[in-house]
Structure 1
Amino acid sequence: MIRTVGAAILAGSLMAQPLAGDEPDLPEPTHTILQFSDLDGWAEDDHDAALAVFKSTCRDLDDPDWRALCAAAEDAGSGRSFFELFFRPVLIEDGSPALFTGYFEPELDGAPRRSARHAWPVYAMPPEAQEAQPWLSRREILTTGVMNGRGLEIAWVDDPVELFFLQVQGSGRIRFSDGRVVRVGYAGKNGHEYRSIGLELVRRGTFEAHEVSADRIKDWVRSNPGVGEELLHHNPSYVFFREVSEVPAHLGPLGAMNRSITPMRSIAVDPRYTQLGAPVWVEKDGRAPLRRLMIAQDTGSAIKGAQRADVFVGTGAEAGREAGTYKDPGRMVVLLPIQRAYALLPGHAQ
């Protein structure tokens, strides 16, 4: 998955891709244990909803502290009582301000076979692309015929611009006219570094940086045929997909824990600071403030820092528009098992 599309277009990041190696010289984080009464809006949240999402991935946490909590969660009668009894809120900071963005799962109009309307293929990854990195560029993949006649088409869609943004997102759903839905997920890429088409439009003077958004870019590409296609080729990176048939259409896409994520309860985090599967109290300010307990169930190459999170908003165009408005300050507080929380204090014996 990817963070807010407009921000990702400027940053040139692909959320669904595996994280690169740890960056050198990471800031040493500080840890401050808080009380639940310090969390703005804590008492008003739906803790039972958060508990249900926590339980969806807690069984995957391979650590004695977390396994014990997962067992306790199965018998918890009250979500709020469970979290307050077994956890302590820990503010983890690395010196950078908090930033919340949003991401979503796009939904495209498609068909199982090519037609005049559905003429753009969603490709599975060819073997030679796995073996040779970097492989062919986006332009070469789409113009040389190297993919033709090989049965690599998962589906065909009706809009090359939406397909490009599906690749930026890294996963999505394709809806056929008979009502069938095919979900696709990231399978790999051609090994070329992503180049931001948003930054390119800013460099050309087409937009100011603050004007760049997914919708503005889509409209510009569609209004400038030929030149618009050439702009998409400016990005040599090309993402291949796999069909994720094991995930029912009514559930969210798979996150980094290989489990479905939940709209407005799942977030992407930097796992160097926040353990995947941990509950995280989110205090997002801005146009649409959030005070909510969420679960860290996803990651992404653009999500870096102790106070950095990406909120999964949902599926489809409306979710995409909402996610695109997120670029907000605030605070995130990780809930850790009690013993683990106090072990982080300076001078505590590890």
Structure 2
Amino acid sequence: MANPTHQSLQFDDLNGWAEDDHQAALDVFLSTCGDMRDPAWQAICDLARQGQEARGFFERFFTPVLIYDGQDALFTGYYEPELRGSVTRGGPYQYPLYRLPPDMTSPWLTRREIEETGALDGLGHEIAWIDDPVDVFFLQVQGSGRVGLDTGGGIRVGYGGANGREYSSIGLELVNRGVYEPHQVSADVIRNWVRNNGEEGRQLLWANDSYVFFREVNEVPADMGPLGAMNRSVTTMRTIAIDPAFIPLGAPVWIEKNGAEPLNRLMVAQDTGSAIKGSQRADIFFGTGDVAGRDAGRIKDDGRLVVLMPIQSAYALLPDVIE
């Protein structure tokens, strides 16, 4: 991957900037900026807490910076799934959600090895049992979700760790096998193919060596989003997952997403993901439930990301910043 370049822009260069709801973005920024440790960001957060006119705040204290690492921009979507489960195994509830084993080393067993050998059977690491193995797989891809229990009520789970194996795209695997063309692949297409192909479907899931473990996060209020990488609730259509190697967690990021439903909006980088790599890569949080899942699963668009950096931090990138 090429060394990244940094280009400073003006707010007038951001398509649709004037039309956005800057107050909504500022509210989301405030929810996590207090967790940023860099002194420049702490100073910005202190200013934000004093009460600011939102658009003017961003324009006075930030510089838009386009970071480019040689890879084309790619936007995808993610969501918080809702699953059906039980705290005991029985009937349709046969597929476990596991806590992180306390003695696990990294890298550990692959997805196939865990499921085929029953490496965790009988060790008491199960949080719940789910009625659909495909739902378990997609919960692992998303990283968090809600489980409605057969006895009533529910539990909420968040990312608890992983086996240290490389993430591989199941959609790309189907394309490589010649089953679909790239433009045909979506989350719903993958789900249906796995469910309709029995053992072959199960083995397709094993093509992804990565395996995710969970933890209960029932302290998060039901009306708030799941916890992101900053251990704070993420916000529907205002949170993105990014690669923290290029974009600071907690930073405002202006996105210009192309595609069938273009989107120009100020987001906040509050999450990460194993498949989110590169300076122009982002995953948009679409919310909770099946509708959010369908909307998120259709997104695979180009465009650009522009990070809003504190002015002094942007100029610290000199001479790499191109005026």
TM-score, scaled to structure 1: 0.83
Partner of 2:27: 52
**Are the structure 2 counterparts of residues 280 and 227 from structure 1 closer, same or farther at C-alpha, using a change threshold of 3 Å?**
closer
Give the 3-state SS of the residue equivalent to 1:89 in structure 2.
Answer: strand
Give the 3-state SS of the residue equivalent to 1:62 in structure 2.
Answer: coil
Match of 1:335 among 308, 316, 319: 308
Q: Is the 8 A contact 2:86 2:151 kept in 1?
A: no
TM-score, scaled to structure 2: 0.89
RMSD (CA atoms) = 2.4
Partner of 2:146: 173
Q: Is the 8 A contact 1:181 1:249 kept in 2?
A: no
Structure 1: distance between partners of 2:63 and 2:167: 40
Q: Is the 8 A contact 1:76 1:82 kept in 2?
A: no
5 Å-filtered alignment, 1:74-89, equals 74-89=49-64
**Are the structure 2 counterparts of residues 306 and 224 from structure 1 closer, same or farther at C-alpha, using a change threshold of 3 Å?**
closer
Structure 1: distance between partners of 2:304 and 2:167: 30
Partner of 1:68: 43
Structure 1: distance between partners of 2:36 and 2:72: 29
Provide, for residues 172-227 of structure 1, a one-character-per-residue CA deviation record: whole Å limited to 9, x for no partner: 22122455232222223334444443344334433333322221221122222233
Q: CA deviation at 1:52?
A: 0.6
Partner of 1:97: 72
Structure 1: distance between partners of 2:4 and 2:109: 40
5 Å-filtered alignment, 1:92-131, equals 92-128=67-103, 130-131=104-105
Partner of 2:123: 150
**Are the structure 2 counterparts of residues 229 and 100 from structure 1 closer, same or farther at C-alpha, using a change threshold of 3 Å?**
closer
Q: CA deviation at 1:265?
A: 0.6
**Are the structure 2 counterparts of residues 259 and 150 from structure 1 closer, same or farther at C-alpha, using a change threshold of 3 Å?**
same
Structure 1: distance between partners of 2:192 and 2:64: 44
Q: CA deviation at 1:59?
A: 0.5
Give the 3-state SS of the residue equivalent to 2:46 in structure 1.
Answer: helix
Partner of 2:137: 164
1:344 paired with 2:317, answer yes
**Are the structure 2 counterparts of residues 347 and 239 from structure 1 closer, same or farther at C-alpha, using a change threshold of 3 Å?**
closer
Structure 2: distance between partners of 1:200 and 1:104: 22
Give the 3-state SS of the residue equivalent to 1:48 in structure 2.
Answer: helix
**Are the structure 2 counterparts of residues 268 and 238 from structure 1 closer, same or farther at C-alpha, using a change threshold of 3 Å?**
closer
Q: Is the 8 A contact 1:106 1:172 kept in 2?
A: yes
Structure 1: distance between partners of 2:248 and 2:217: 25
Match of 1:261 among 210, 227, 234: 234
Match of 2:15 among 37, 40, 57: 40
**Are the structure 2 counterparts of residues 238 and 61 from structure 1 closer, same or farther at C-alpha, using a change threshold of 3 Å?**
closer
Structure 2: distance between partners of 1:150 and 1:241: 15
Partner of 1:244: 217
Structure 2: distance between partners of 1:288 and 1:267: 17
Give the 3-state SS of the residue equivalent to 1:286 in structure 2.
Answer: coil
Q: CA deviation at 1:54?
A: 0.5
Structure 2: distance between partners of 1:203 and 1:335: 38
Q: Is the 8 A contact 1:134 1:190 kept in 2?
A: yes
Partner of 2:259: 286
The percent of aligned pairs where both chains have the same amino acid is 62
**Are the structure 2 counterparts of residues 272 and 157 from structure 1 closer, same or farther at C-alpha, using a change threshold of 3 Å?**
same
Structure 1: distance between partners of 2:275 and 2:145: 19
- Structure 1 residue runs of 5 or longer lacking an equivalent are 1-24
Structure 2: distance between partners of 1:145 and 1:244: 26
Structure 1: distance between partners of 2:245 and 2:209: 29
Structure 2: distance between partners of 1:210 and 1:313: 21
Q: CA deviation at 1:150?
A: 2.6
Structure 1: distance between partners of 2:320 and 2:158: 45
Structure 2: distance between partners of 1:113 and 1:78: 52
Partner of 1:8: none
Structure 1: distance between partners of 2:288 and 2:55: 28
Structure 2: distance between partners of 1:170 and 1:347: 35
- Structure 2 residue runs of 5 or longer lacking an equivalent are none
Which deviates further from its counterpart, 154-163 or 181-190? 181-190
Match of 1:227 among 197, 200, 205: 200
Q: Is the 8 A contact 1:31 1:344 kept in 2?
A: no
Whichever residue aligns with residue 26 of structure 2, its letter is L
Q: Is the 8 A contact 2:148 2:154 kept in 1?
A: yes
Structure 1: distance between partners of 2:320 and 2:206: 54
Whichever residue aligns with residue 221 of structure 1, its letter is V
Structure 2: distance between partners of 1:236 and 1:124: 18
Whichever residue aligns with residue 212 of structure 1, its letter is V
Q: Is the 8 A contact 1:191 1:237 kept in 2?
A: yes
Give the 3-state SS of the residue equivalent to 1:206 in structure 2.
Answer: coil
Whichever residue aligns with residue 119 of structure 1, its letter is Q
Q: Is the 8 A contact 2:6 2:65 kept in 1?
A: no
